[in-house]
Chain A
């Protein structure tokens, strides 16, 4: 795993580069944005894809919470979970915004802006929670000199 980690940044960087290029291309020729080639047609992402992604993120976060010893890593996994939720919300917000009329015809009328608003609050709360949690971690570390949760078990019988 260590090996991949070393190269992980490269992947990230590469991704950034690709995204940058795509963005530049889109800026240059907006028609590319609307390209509907037969190949892409089949794999064009819809809302479901976003939901799937968010769920996978969520699952990874859960796995991290359940399996890591380091408290801070666990916190970070919790942040992952929250982000997955944020993604879910925003995806739905976009969907609702786009299909407002169709859905209204079926009788469903949800404010599409509630997505981002709620997401903002989630971010706020996540920040607050991270601050407090990490404060606790520091306090615990001062006492026990460890951040492995299975070693912080004074209350355990």
Chain B
């Protein structure tokens, strides 16, 4: 089965091509498109499971946790993609620097990539199923699924690639698909702006990423992860406040991760990305794409672990992001926005875990977060669908009896994210918090733990708020103007009194442009005030169809169960059933100090020197067995566990109080804490800062540079031009009056002379004869001349 891993990304690619190229031509009906789209994902999922099976039970025992890299498998598992050094080799320069630039297209199947592949395909499959129901009767159905499949292809490349280049292709590809899918409703200004914002912010992160990849290549001469992991052993660990090569590389990579995974300062695109359809939000912005940053950090942990400074920065950024996002989430009213900030916050947790060295914990949180966040997003999608595309929570309420399945499944997700045992979120979040508290990578981590601890409470609070505003309490939708018009198709159907799900409107481009929340349709259709002046909504919220509720159920089950893969052995009384940790352990290198050995040395068994291998293997086996005995349960861990449970419970309680029991309290407290409230409601003015100040600064710089160019550069150029013109004038004057004068003077003189000399030609022969005589006289004089004096003397003498 491992030989077929190439199919895993190729199947979604086939689905993309099929739907994209043929969907419009053949006017495929929705059934065909959805079967193809979901079918390929199902195929990928099954292949992933097969690969997992084969890797874990047959490949791995034989190869001591080595990753399975397909470079030796030949096409189509692997082929030479960018053969470098051919020119060098042909010149006989084997040692030429570029001769290492040989990038194969190959996949790396190891524990980490299998985890990510499973997440992507499994959750992705169920989201595809949900989307078949959500996007029902949408005119661009085929386009949506083709983009979704393309995204799956890119994401799978990202997690499966065996070198930086393929990962970067996937990296960029998911950015592209994010842009395409956020801007799926391309006729809406909000969606277009959000998609551009997402892409541009992503790009800023990619800048750091590209620099880091170039630096990696310059340093190591290769881009294959496995080779770099081995080669990096030669570099020492850079301690805190040391910023050497590894730190620079890690910094570049982390900037990329910041952009992709929406950390401070590049998280601003994620809340705006909610303008896309809800399945997109679920898949891309909850479960998979945004976790690519965490995956990447874990994949390159051999670089990060060698830079303590960067680890601290990562943890700090993660922690701050978690806290700030949570504070913003408390006050948002759009259900998807709350979930978006929740995503940002949870991503912060993941980076916090990665920063303190708990890479496995971070990946574990990715794993569980994928399930419960996807569940929450899909559930909110179901709610929005049922509320006819109303997204504002103040207009919802008391929906639990109208959307029972949705409600029940969202309960699972809610409890998971709050971190209540035995749901999934508890285990992963707790592991991160414990590792934060107890980490020895750098000091001062207990403060980080405290902030994370408080954030957990806030998480519980705002999630309970969400549940309270949506499902519990009074049914506010009856009072206010119902029929949110975020989706014109549904609004139009609603106006025409069509049945739900019959959003039969012209294609997206032809619809009139409306801003979200703007009222569409005749007013009297929706404003039916009763005798007391209270408007009655025109519709009743309804449950979603089976295609949408089935994924919810599956994901709810997952939210409960997947946490049990990573039960810390603290709760098991000594038995180490933390499958997740054991599974992912070989991926994380242990960077040992030259002087002291902190933990057991378990270096990744590599093909560097075969002589080393048996020794290392022996060591590893010992350590693996030693660990459970060595690592006794710290009683503090139990304490922290109880504390986090306590604060979660406290948050839930407060949430219930504020939003269910006494709904007037939020306003009271908002008034009391007005400055904090406004800060939170306005998203800490971050967008304003970037948009207004950043753009203004950019424009000012632009103007300044333009002035410089205009004044100096252009002035210089124009000055040179006028000097040239002046010299041209001088030269022209010289040419006209001096040179031409000489030339013309010759002509004038000749003419003047000719006037004179012409008179000789009288045509009168006697004049010519006279001249003969004159000439004769002259000749005579010439001979006579000397005789003249003698003759005169002779006369006078005589």
Contact = CB atoms under 8 A, between A and B. Distances in A.
Are chains A and B touching in the complex at the 8 Å CB cutoff? yes
Interface stretch (B295-303, B522-530, B613-621, B761-769): B761-769
Interface stretch (A83-91, A122-130, A148-156): A148-156
B764 A150 contact: yes
Dominant SS among interface residues on chain A: helix
16 contacts: A62-B773, A65-B766, A65-B769, A66-B766, A66-B769, A66-B770, A66-B773, A67-B766, A149-B765, A149-B766, A150-B764, A153-B763, A153-B764, A156-B763, A156-B764, A157-B763
Given A65-B769, A66-B766, A153-B763, 13 more contacts: A62-B773, A65-B766, A66-B769, A66-B770, A66-B773, A67-B766, A149-B765, A149-B766, A150-B764, A153-B764, A156-B763, A156-B764, A157-B763
A67 B769 CA distance: 10
Nearest to A155: B763
Nearest to B773: A62
Contacts of B763: 153, 156-157
Interface of B: 763-766, 769-770, 773
Nearest to A69: B766
A75 B670 CA distance: 145
Contacts of B764: 150, 153, 156
Contacts of B773: 62, 66
In the complex, which of the residues B764, B766, B770 has the most CB atoms of chain A within 10 Å of its own CB atom? B766
B294 to A, nearest CB: 111
Nearest to B766: A66
A149 B765 CA distance: 9
Interface of A: 62, 65-67, 149-150, 153, 156-157
Dominant SS among interface residues on chain B: helix
A149 B763 CA distance: 11
Contacts of B769: 65-66
A10 B769 CA distance: 34
Nearest to A74: B766
Nearest to B770: A66
**Smallest CB-CB A-B distances: 6 pairs:** A156-B763, A66-B770, A66-B766, A66-B769, A62-B773, A65-B769
A25 B773 CA distance: 43
B446 to A, nearest CB: 125
Contacts of A62: 773
A156 B769 CA distance: 17
Contacts of A150: 764
A48 to B, nearest CB: 13
A75 to B, nearest CB: 13
A143 to B, nearest CB: 18
Contacts of A156: 763-764
Contacts of B766: 65-67, 149
A153 B767 CA distance: 14
Contacts of B770: 66
A139 B773 CA distance: 29
A150 B766 CA distance: 9
A73 to B, nearest CB: 12
A62 B769 CA distance: 9
Nearest to B767: A66
A150 B764 CA distance: 7
B490 to A, nearest CB: 108
A83 B326 CA distance: 146
Contacts of A67: 766
B735 to A, nearest CB: 39
A153 B763 CA distance: 8
Contacts of A157: 763
A65 B773 CA distance: 11
Contacts of A66: 766, 769-770, 773
B127 to A, nearest CB: 111
A118 B765 CA distance: 29
A156 B768 CA distance: 14
A67 B766 CA distance: 8
A65 B770 CA distance: 9
A149 B770 CA distance: 15
Contacts of B765: 149
Nearest to A63: B773
A49 B460 CA distance: 160
A65 B765 CA distance: 10
A153 B770 CA distance: 18
Nearest to B769: A66
A155 B763 CA distance: 9
A150 B762 CA distance: 11
B362 to A, nearest CB: 116
A156 B762 CA distance: 9
B75 to A, nearest CB: 101
A67 B773 CA distance: 12
